[in-house]
Amino acid sequence: MIKNDLYLRALRGETVERPPVWMMRQAGRYLPEFIALRDQYDFFTRCQTPELAAEITVQPIRRFPLDAAILFSDILVVPQAMGIDFKMKESVGPWLDTPIRSLEQVQNLQVEGAEENLKYVYDAIDITLQKLENEIPLIGFAGSPWTLLCYAVEGKGSKSFDIAKSFCFTQPEAAHLLLQKITDVTIAYLKRKVQSGVSAVQIFDSWGGMLSPEDYQEFSWKYINQIVEALAPEAHVVVFAKGCWYALEEMTKSKVSALGVDWTITPELARKFTNNSITLQGNFDPARLHSSPEVIRKMVHEMIDRFGKDKYIANLGHGILPNIPLENAEAFIRAVVEWKG
C-alpha cells in the first residue's frame, strides 16, 4: 500500500484534507544535482540508463514534500522505438536528420513489438519503486500522437509547426496512418508501464493548441481518446493538452481521471467547461515562480481557493523553468502542503 495516497484520492474525486501537489518537470534543470548528472551524461544516456533515470526521478522527492513522483524520461523514446532516430542537439533540442515527410516513410515504421525496445524504461520503474519505498505514487507518461507527429514531421522544435500541419492537410492518409501507428505503440508502452507498477499515466499534448478546435478533434483528440479508452480500465489517466481549453468540455465526456489545464484559463472557467464533474490539475504560470516566495504563497493559496480543494491537483500550467530559484520552487510546494481551508 502507498503510504501517501493523496494524489490517487484526488484522482478518484474523493474528499481530501488538502489538494496533492507535484510539478511538471520537477526532476529537471532547476536542481543542482540534476545539473551535475547532466554535465556527466548526455540526455538520452540519462533516459536510457535505468539507474540514472531512477536517481533523477527521486532527486526532487528527497528535497521537497511532493505527493507524487514522475518517472524521468522523454516523450521521444516512443518514436525512437519505432525507428525514428531522434537526437538531442545542443542549443537546438530535438533533432531528426531525416524527418517523416512521405507515406512510404510512414509505412516503413515499426509498430509490432516496438514497445519491447523500451525495456530500459520498465527497468527504471522497477528501480524507482524500490527507491520510493511505497511512500508516494509514481506517474508514467507519454506524448500525445499529435505532439509526436509534430516533432517527427518538422524534424525539430518549432513555434508554429507549419510543416507538420501542412503534412496533415496535404497528405491526410499518411498523417492518419502515422498518428494511428504512434497511438498503437503508445498504448502498448503505457500498458507495460502500468504492469511495471506506475499508479497513473499522463498524456502530454504539448502542441495541441497549435490546431483549430475542428482540427484538434480530427488530428489529436480522437487518438488521445483511443489511449484513454485502452488504459482507463487499468490505471488512472490524466490528459494535459496545452492551449486546448476549447476541448475541455469534450474531454470531460471521456474516461479520463483528470484534465490538466494551463494558465491561460481561469479556475472558474475550467470548472464551468468541465461541469465541475472531473478532477482538474494545474495551473500556476511557471514564470510566476520568479516572484518572491511570499507572493508565490499568496497566489498558490488563492489558486486553491478558486479551484476548490476537492477534485483538484495543484501543479504548474506547464513544466518548471530551468532558472527558477530552489527556494521559490519549495515555496510553491509548501504553500500547497500548508494550505488550510
Catalytic status, residue 29: yes
Domain boundaries, the chain: 6-284+310-320
Find out whether 206 is annotated in a ligand binding site. Answer: yes
Q: What mean pLDDT comes out for the span 87-96?
A: 93
Q: Is 247 annotated as a binding residue?
A: no
Q: Which residues pair with 279 in a beta bridge?
A: 258
Burial of 152 per CB tally in 10 Å (0-12, 13-18, 19+): buried
Please, which pLDDT band fits residue 93 given cuts at 50, 70 and 90? very high
Q: Is 74 a catalytic residue?
A: yes
pLDDT band at 54 (very low <50, low <70, confident <90, very high): very high
HSE (side-chain half, CA atoms, 13 Å) at 237 = 26
67-77: per-residue pLDDT in tens? 999 999 999 99
Mean of the pLDDT values across residues 233-260? Answer: 98
The predicted model scores a pTM of 0.98
- pLDDT at residue 319 greater than cutoff 90: yes
pLDDT averaged over every residue in the chain:
98
6-284+310-320 under CATH 3.20.20.210, yes or no? yes
Cα 107 off chain centre by: 28
Please tell me whether 143 is known to bind a ligand: no
Known binder of ligand: residue 54? no
- For position 127, what pLDDT does the model report? 98
Q: Is 47 helix (H, G, I), strand (E, B) or coil?
A: helix
Give the three cell numbers for residue 161: 509547426
Residue 29: pLDDT band by 50, 70, 90 thresholds? very high
Contact 284, 315 (CB under 8 A): yes
Cβ neighbors of 105 (< 8 A, separation 6 or more) are none
Q: Is 151 a catalytic residue?
A: yes
Which candidate in 5, 30, 46, 74 is catalytic?
Answer: 74
pLDDT beyond 90 at 25: yes
3-state DSSP assignment of residue 36: helix
Rounded to a whole number of angstroms, the distance between the first and last alpha carbons of the chain is: 28
Please compute the mean of the pLDDT values over residues 225-246 and round it to a whole number. 98
Summarised one tens digit per residue, pLDDT across range 162-216 is 999 999 999 999 999 999 999 999 999 999 999 999 999 999 999 999 999 999 9
- Residue 91 confidence class, pLDDT cut points 50, 70, 90: confident
The three-class DSSP label of residue 156 is strand
